[in-house]
Amino acid sequence: MTNRLADATSPYLLQHKDNPVDWWEWGEEAFAEARRRDVPVMLSVGYAACHWCHVMAHESFEDQAVAAAVNASVVPVKVDREERPDIDAVYMQATTAMTGQGGWPMTCFLTPAGEPFFCGTYYPKAQFLQLLAAVADAWTTRREEVLTSSAAIAQFLGSAVEAGDPAAVDAAALDAAADRLAAGFDARHGGFGGSPKFPPSMVLEFLLRHHARTGSPGSLDMVTSTCEAMARGGVYDQLAGGFARYSVDAAWVVPHFEKMLYDNAQLLRVYLHLYRATGSGLAERVARETADFLLRDLGTPEGAFASSLDADAAGVEGLTYAWTPAELAAVLGAEDGERAAALLGVTAGGTFERGTSTLQLRSDPDDAAWWAGARDRLLTARAGRPQPGRDDKAVTSWNGLAIAALAEAGALLGEERYLAAARTCAAFVLGAHLVDGRLRRASRQGVVGNAAAVADDHGNLAEGLLALHQATGEPRWLEAAKGVLETALAHFADAAGGFYDVANDAERLVTRPRNGADNAEPAGQSALAGALLTYSALTGSPRHRAAADAAVAAAGTLARAEPRFAGWTLAVAEAALAGPLQVAVVGEDEAARELADAARASTSPGLVLTAGMPDAPGVPLLADRPLVGGGSAAYVCRGFVCDRPVTDVADLRRALGSGLAPATGPAL
């Protein structure tokens, strides 16, 4: 027997459709039922790749006795945090305020008006049953106390989203942020802080841009050290490419094995930009392998990208990925198995669980051809193991990140298939996720869901479209980005500067969420700031530049105080300080392609590029910039004030190199 989740589009909700818990999807119907029955709402929030969500489901939500207690005392509502980040943001703020920490699964008890009065995360079965009984008792015998508490919490949540005073993120603030990051840097293992340790994608992007502007060797060293440590550790899939969500230890040895689209898209860009800055062979290899992972393992038949791969397979975390020496020998033979075990850090005692080891590649093999063959054989054997589940919904925001990364990878690495994938994905998202002129959050198997897009959907999609325009010269992507940004300005902007997470005409929750912190992905505000800045540089629009500057300033206090949680805001501020540096390449022959490639090789964070024929419709940078002597040329402009056009690649490099730090640093 299935419950009300049987018709859901979210893979996470579908995982719970056969539970004996009588789940409802989020909506007015559920709250009306709570009012009718005069019981609280139990909100359970998670996502498909969440390990502890699976544990709580198996222990409690699949248990008949627990389900009976749930169904009798509350109206249970299940939410996919990836499909409804607005709901997650509001109640995660409440959970953190009440308990001092957050996480998933998130378990909140709400009044029928949606106001939270008790919040937590994972509960073992026995504790969960006790909690249900305590909530039912409080609702029945201490109703006024519960309602007073929930009203106070709702008032706190409303005041917590008020914007603080803006603060400029100028050169001094950026230098200070780099210094603060250096003070918290793990010089031994790379990265920041202890364990668990998350790939700091946006912070690394900021540090790369800071180095490009200032020449700071310390900033570049933090990037190279961290990127090498991650790429050689167990957090990186040494057989198939792609990064796991995080490492449970400080040395990147044992990952939490789920693989997320948003992590891999952002890390692809970081390694790509590190390769551009240093020529690192390791960075180039990891960029290519990560791009291949996106196409092979996360690509959907519609041309979009799936959200994640699960941490578990057949109910066991890491089952697909961990090895013993005997398993290596069974695939490769005794001699090659022993050689592979030494290369990959697979020990008799194991580095993970059950005597198994994660695969590390702490140094390059002496015989690359041998390793390539062994790797292929191990990957083939691994394909015969139980495989992790895949959350195949396509989220607008994360597909925007993928479009940007693949567009840049195609252009910088000369791989047309990456560009083709970016084009296909962009066309699908614009065709399927734009409904009556407004973006939706996600689709699955080509069917778009009802959830409205949030701010980061608009910012990251616009970022991807603008990167695709710069990689291809095609005006349609610039025009599409304009439409996305105009919607954001009309419906998400705060008159005082910056952006809310949800639109002004979105479903009303307890509060209108707004969060300027960059966490696993750019905040909606910083994502929009970056896209607005790029659009203004490509078009000369002062209105978009002003909105970008205001959004950066809105997060300025956070960026100054906690740079680890403002990586993308800082990266955008670096681009604003260094630009606009505009390059317009006119022409469509081989000479034009060489000039465009030379421009792309620049590490200036403020650079934007447009290439095409003079006066191409819809491309402002190409207006009134003719061919030179009938041949291709490049115009280097700063704020639409241009130098004399150049026709020689060496001259273009000199023009772009003026004032930039040399791209030097420790080799990988």
pLDDT tens-digit map of 406-462: 999 999 999 999 999 999 999 999 999 999 999 999 999 999 999 999 999 999 999
pLDDT at 222: 98
pLDDT at 2: 74
Question: How is residue 650 written in tokens?
Answer: 């060496």
| Pair 340, 378: CB distance under 8 Å | yes
Q: Are residues 286 and 212 in the same domain?
A: yes
- Using CA atoms, how far apart are residues 435 and 452, in angstroms rounded to an integer? 10
Q: Could you write out the DSSP letters of every residue in 619-639?
A: -GGGTT---BTTB-EEEEEET
Chosen domain end from 340, 359, 385 = 385
- Count the helices and strands in the chain (H runs, E runs): 25, 21
Question: How is residue 638 written in tokens?
Answer: 């700063």
CA distances from 278 to 210, 273, 283 (A): 14, 9, 9
Q: Are residues 403 and 528 in the same domain?
A: yes
Task: Specify the number of domains making up the chain.
Answer: 4
| Pair 415, 366: CB distance under 8 Å | no
Q: Does residue 663 sit within a domain? A: no
pLDDT at 666: 35
Q: Are residues 293 and 352 in the same domain?
A: no
Rg (CA), the chain: 26
- Using CA atoms, how far apart are residues 254 and 381, in angstroms rounded to an integer? 21
| Pair 23, 74: CB distance under 8 Å | no
Q: Does residue 449 sit within a domain? A: yes
pLDDT at 1: 59
- Using CA atoms, how far apart are residues 656 and 601, in angstroms rounded to an integer? 10
Q: Does residue 662 sit within a domain? A: no
Q: Are residues 290 and 409 in the same domain?
A: yes
Q: Are residues 507 and 539 in the same domain?
A: yes
Tell me which residue of 206, 248, 255 sits closest to 565, measured CA to CA.
206
Q: Model confidence over 68-91: pLDDT tens digits?
A: 999 999 999 999 999 999 999 999
Q: Are residues 425 and 520 in the same domain?
A: yes
Total residue count of the chain as it appears in this document: 668
Q: Are residues 53 and 117 in the same domain?
A: yes
Q: Does residue 402 sit within a domain? A: yes
Tell me which residue of 86, 83, 89 sits closest to 47, measured CA to CA.
83
Tell me which residue of 234, 271, 187 sits closest to 361, measured CA to CA.
234
DSSP-derived 3-state class of residue 346: coil
Q: Model confidence over 157-208: pLDDT tens digits?
A: 877 666 678 999 999 999 999 999 999 999 999 999 999 999 999 999 999 9
DSSP state at residue 100: S
Q: Are residues 142 and 184 in the same domain?
A: no
- Using CA atoms, how far apart are residues 541 and 526, in angstroms rounded to an integer? 19
Q: Are residues 573 and 589 in the same domain?
A: no
Q: Are residues 288 and 433 in the same domain?
A: yes
Cα-Cα-Cα-Cα dihedral of 193, 196, 202, 207, to 10°? 30
Q: Does residue 665 sit within a domain? A: no
- 237 burial type by CB count under 10 A (0-12 exposed, 13-18 middle, 19+ buried): buried
pLDDT at 668: 46
User: What parts of the chain have a pLDDT lower than 50?
Assistant: 659-668
Chosen domain end from 578, 605, 623 = 578
Q: Are residues 378 and 408 in the same domain?
A: no
State the pTM of this model.
0.94
Give the domain extent around 378: 321-385
Cα-Cα-Cα-Cα dihedral of 260, 295, 447, 85, to 10°? 20
- Using CA atoms, how far apart are residues 613 and 621, in angstroms rounded to an integer? 11
Chosen domain end from 366, 385, 404 = 385
Q: Are residues 58 and 138 in the same domain?
A: yes
